[in-house]
Amino acid sequence: MPLILTRLAQMLFVLWVVASLLFYMFRLMPGDPTVAYIDSTFTEEQIQELRRTFGLDRPLHEQYLIYLRNLIVGEFGDSFHHRRPVLEILIDVLPNTIILTLSGLLVAYAFGTVVGAWLAWKRGTWVEALTIPTVLTLRAAPEFWLGMVLLAVFAFKLGWFPSGGANSPGATFPSEFSRIISRDFLWHLVLPAATLALYLQGLPLLLMRSNMLDVMGEDFITMARMKGLSSWSIIMRHGARNALLPVVTAFALGFGASVGGNVVVETVFSWPGLGKLLVNSIAASDYPVAQAAFFLITVVLVTMNFVADLIYSLLDPRVSHGRRH
Amino acid sequence: MADATDLPLAGAPPRWRLVKVIRLLAVPWRDPFAAMGTLIYATFLLIALFADVIAPYDPLEILFTPDGNLARSAPAGWQHPLGTTNLGRDIFSQLVVGTRAALVVGLTAAVAVALIGTLVGLISGFIGGWVDALLMRLADVALGIPFLPFVILIAGLLGPRTSNVIVGIALLLWPNTARVIRSQVLTVRERAFVEAARVTGASNARILFVHVAPNILPLSFLYGSIAVGWAILTEASIAFLGFGPSDRISWGYMLQDAYASQALSRGDYNWFVPPGLCIVLVVVAGFFISRGYEEILFPKLKD
Amino acid sequence: MAILALEDLNVEYDSPAGAVRAVDRGTFSVPYGNVVGLVGESGCGKTTLARAVTGVMAPNARITHGHIRFEGRDLVTASPSERRQVLWREIAFIPQSAMNALDPVYRVSSQLREVLVERGGYRSADVGPRIDQLFRMVGLDPRRRRDFPHQFSGGMRQRVGIALALALQPKLLIADEPVTALDVIVQRQVLDTLVDLQKRLQLSLLLVTHDISVVASVCDRIVVMYAGQVVEAGSVAAVLERPFHPYTMGLTNAFPDLTRATDQLVPIPGSPPDLREDQVGCRFAARCPFALTRCRTHDPPLETVGDDHQASCWRARDAEALRLESREAQTWSRSSA
């Protein structure tokens, strides 16, 4: 399918531009190209190693090509702050961000889709008149403020949930996997995920409602009624199935956007994820980490945009099965 | 969906067009929510303008009680309508003065987004060809960059100035506006009156600004009004993360201050709830106003 | 003798201007095994009437008076579950545009299966042969059953629509302009298929159309509607050869008859009345070249004017003379429209 190839090319183009932008911002602007990778606290040995890996003595265009190659293989240098390869640090925090984003989104979309469809059913009633402004108000609230309120009430005042972090301090786990599925982790996950869900549910809710209203007015719904099909068949099999498609696409897009937008929620809850890493590294001038974290977030965003297009073309038979007479 | 070109703006004599544009701006009154939104906006605008008069204290001034002690964490009362911070600063004054930062950033960024988006959309749609292709590639790139992280990067690397935040917002939010404007221009371009103007020898620039632009302006306003909300939320987030100007009081700054000073664990709701509520009010007002406009520009068929 | 009999049916819409009566005292019948053409221009209420028979109308439409007797049972007073029993199993509907009537995300076989299983008592595994049979009946290649609606051409989609309608072996088919949206050649083919099926399966067919040539070639009886009322009804031969209502006379004139050497098309000037306003007198009076004062003040009832022939006109007695006059072009330009 040529359209998919076009989108793929677009995706790679955007990534290339962003990579180049980062190259410019971190190497050319400060003037001294070594600032991006070498900190005064490194040993002479480390400095030589880094100079080699990134070709810091070479001419600029060679540096650029080396930089791009390193990017593709995941060579980001060493963190000034943590004294470890940046890639390791990224891999450590990535699961936290992905799980947080995924859980928040899943709850938000499950809730939003069901309530949105139900609201379409309740068109013209006071239920609708009351719910829509409420939903809009929630969307107008800053994510981090919602988190702060939840934190103040449920963690500090009621003590039901921990006040931050992804695991209790001092807790150890035999493997990364067991850490993620531990009760301790889930207990820490609740509030930040709830904050995300609260903030994000507005979009699928309004979208599903709008789609359902459009779909229920379509001729094939009238025909379904004429065939005497049950309400369940009509609303779910025909109505929701058609209305759901844009919501699924929105989910993919939402995932891409949230990974970057989570920054504030991760900060409020001290959640050790990619966003918090980005913020901390910029504040601490830990440039290798900052570059890498930003680039990784971009990769996720651009990839999910592409995935959204892919999903749409696969789910809509009009696109996936083409037209022929 | 009826489009904005159904508004009989172009082709009419100039003075008439101005009247219609003005009338368009006054349209939100018909929708109760849009009217409420406009009222909220107007209130905040007034507060921002007269902040110095309304705020009882200097927002950054550390205050003392009559008996010489630091007025720390005072609860809401007569002396301090919303109490004080843990360092003895009056919360209400901060809230009032913070209105300025919110509105300045919000409106400036929104205007920038609307301006850039409209210009790009106009040029892209009207000229077409490689210019169009180039601008749309640029839009793709802008849409592929994560929004908040980018603004953080800009503020972090270039310095925590308000102007940097506005620039960051404008650089990434224009594509949606541009795309919509562009598709509208493509539609209008084929319209009869444009052909007529061309035949009578009007230059491209003249056609663009005199005939095409008036049909586009309502859309620019719509997307501008949508952008205000996002700009305010972004500014608050940036300030909360500590990348905002430290000498300027904003609602985001207040929230960051509260958070860093353990106001959450102490339960100082009077400190961290009001700034958030103010943000909600201003942003939701923007939503209502833009929904009111949207109803006018793209009326859905009533059942 | 009649599978369907409408008596004095009123259908009203809610509108911002108040209730609009789209169908007024609709009365006609469909005998068993007949093809009845329901004819009229856009907005005359024929689609509203057709949908009222199925019981599935627009959200703001209501039956406010009258009876719809299907095999003797009154559908208007029947409970929703009773009506649902009849739907599709005994009365099926063929829409104007099958493109929009088919769910785009399901294969055609799935949509057929849905009807067969949910309403026809089939087991999901047993529907295969029946689907193949239906496809062949309407002239489609059964190998295309797993295709999606958008993969079919317009004509083929209409055939799918017919297949769906016939799935449960109904007794009465209501077809709302089933071929209007198609190319002329395809129109003929699909129509032939439909009529052929009607004969073979001994179905009764209510064919809603604005195209009088279709009615002339295919129908046994014709019902003419104007501004929400039935103005003439009877066997096709009687109504088209000897129309009694001036509107019917105008319609038959506007139709170019290839067998007669008519060199003029005589259209009816003017347009139908706005039903949002209260109607006084005969609704056709404003456009009628033969209108009397009585016509403008009193609405003529539907009366028998011949053997199995009804019309609503105060001047039915003068019909023969009026017919001759109506063939002249200048008769129509004289009307006060």
Looking at CA atoms only, how far is residue B68 from chain A in angstroms?
31
- Report CA A253 to chain centroid distance, whole Å: 8
C337 pLDDT more than 80 = no
- Which chain C residues touch A224 with a CB distance below 8 Å? 103
Half-sphere exposure of B156 (CA within 13 A, CB side): 24
What is the count of residue pairs from A and C with beta carbons less than 8 Å apart? 71
Cite the DSSP H helix spans in chain A.
2-23, 44-54, 60-73, 86-121, 126-140, 143-150, 176-180, 183-200, 202-216, 219-226, 231-232, 241-261, 263-268, 274-283, 287-315, 317-320
The average confidence (pLDDT) of chain A is 86
Looking at CA atoms only, how far is residue C272 from chain A in angstroms?
27
Spatial separation of the C-alpha atoms in residues C61 and C64, rounded to whole Å: 9
> Which amino acid appears at position C26 of this protein?
G
CB count, 10 Å around CB of A243? 24
| Best residue of C105, C141, C159, C173 to probe chain A, by most A CBs closer than 10 Å | C105
Spatial separation of the C-alpha atoms in residues C48 and C64, rounded to whole Å: 13
Spatial separation of the C-alpha atoms in residues C16 and B160, rounded to whole Å: 57
- Decide if C151 and A321 are in contact by the 8 Å CB cutoff: yes
Spatial separation of the C-alpha atoms in residues A145 and B277, rounded to whole Å: 9
Spatial separation of the C-alpha atoms in residues C198 and C289, rounded to whole Å: 39
Half-sphere exposure of B284 (CA within 13 A, CB side): 21
Please tell me the predicted confidence (pLDDT) of residue B7.
43
Residue of chain A whose alpha carbon sits nearest to that of C88: A227
Whether B184 is in a domain gets the answer yes
Whether B38 is in a domain gets the answer no
- State the DSSP code for A152: I
Spatial separation of the C-alpha atoms in residues A47 and A56, rounded to whole Å: 10
Residue of chain A whose alpha carbon sits nearest to that of C85: A228
- State the DSSP code for C286: G
Q: What ipTM was assigned to the predicted interfaces of this complex?
A: 0.87
Q: What angle, 0 to 180 degrees and rounded to 10, lies between the N-to-C axes of helices A126-140 and A183-200?
A: 110
- Report CA A76 to chain centroid distance, whole Å: 22
Domain of B298, CATH number, reads 1.10.3720.10
Looking at CA atoms only, how far is residue C7 from chain A in angstroms?
22
Q: Which of A228, A230, A238 sits opposite C103 (nearest CB)?
A: A238
Residues of chain A with pLDDT below 50 are 324-325
Could you tell me the residue range of the domain that residue B233 belongs to? 52-302
- Which chain B residues touch A267 with a CB distance below 8 Å? 240-241
Looking at CA atoms only, how far is residue A122 from chain C in angstroms?
14
Whether B14 is in a domain gets the answer no
C-alpha angle B241-B245-B248 in degrees, rounded to nearest 5: 115
pLDDT digit string, tens, across residues C292-309: 899 999 999 999 988 889
Distance (Å) of CA B85 to CA A255, A257, A316, B101, B279: 37, 35, 56, 19, 19
Whether B10 is in a domain gets the answer no
Q: What angle, 0 to 180 degrees and rounded to 10, lies between the N-to-C axes of helices A86-121 and A183-200?
A: 50
Spatial separation of the C-alpha atoms in residues A184 and A188, rounded to whole Å: 6
- State the DSSP code for A171: -
Spatial separation of the C-alpha atoms in residues A24 and C135, rounded to whole Å: 65
Cross-strand partners of C92: C173
Whether B80 is in a domain gets the answer yes
Domain count of the fold of chain B: 1
| Residue for token pair 């980062």 | A22
Find the helix or strand (DSSP H, E) in which B38 lies.
helix B32-49
pLDDT digit string, tens, across residues C234-277: 999 999 889 999 999 888 876 555 555 544 555 677 888 888 88
B109 touches chain A (CB under 8 A): no
Whether B292 is in a domain gets the answer yes
Contacts of B133 (CB under 8 A, 6+ apart): none
The two tokens of residue A162 are 């921990």
User: Of how many residues is chain C composed?
Assistant: 337
CB count, 10 Å around CB of C182? 19
The two tokens of residue B294 are 């949207």
C-alpha angle A12-A14-A17 in degrees, rounded to nearest 5: 110
The two tokens of residue A96 are 């936290």
Pairing state between β C18-31 and C2-15: antiparallel
Residue of chain A whose alpha carbon sits nearest to that of B234: A142
- Decide if A318 and C95 are in contact by the 8 Å CB cutoff: no
Whether B63 is in a domain gets the answer yes
- State the DSSP code for A236: I
Residues of chain B with pLDDT below 50 are 1-10, 300-303
Spatial separation of the C-alpha atoms in residues A166 and A182, rounded to whole Å: 11
Whether B277 is in a domain gets the answer yes
Q: Which residues of A touch C (CB under 8 A)?
A: 218-220, 222-230, 233, 237-238, 241-242, 245, 316-318, 321, 323-325
B102 touches chain A (CB under 8 A): no
The two tokens of residue C164 are 């769906």
